[in-house]
Amino acid sequence: MRSAKRQKSAKSAGGGETERREVRSYLVRVDPEGMRQLRILAAELDSTLQNVTIDALNAMLRSHGKPAIVENPRGPRGRPRLS
């Protein structure tokens, strides 16, 4: 698995930078029907595919007794919790 490392700046309410944090990304290959169902789920939850994926990763961590620490680096935009 190849990962990309980027530094992201968080913006404060006033528009200025507040902190820089590391962001990593990865590619997941999903069959067309699986992707279709994930997009439908995201639409039904009025969410994004990114947020649905983050919630799924956190659910997997919790199910194995790990803390649910995966966060959207862009913030919680329109993010209903699946828990």
> Considering the domain boundaries, does residue 9 fall inside one?
yes
User: What's the predicted TM-score (pTM) here?
Assistant: 0.66
d(CA 62, CA 66): 5
d(CA 39, CA 37): 5
> Considering the domain boundaries, does residue 77 fall inside one?
no
32 lies in which domain range?
A: 4-63
d(CA 45, CA 49): 10
8 DSSP β-pair partners: 21
Q: How many domains does the chain contain in total?
A: 1
The per-residue pLDDT for range 4-20, each reduced to its tens digit, is 555 545 554 555 555 66
> Considering the domain boundaries, does residue 34 fall inside one?
yes
pLDDT of 37 over the 90 cut: yes
The per-residue pLDDT for range 49-73, each reduced to its tens digit, is 999 999 999 999 999 999 999 998 8
pLDDT of the residue at 68? 95
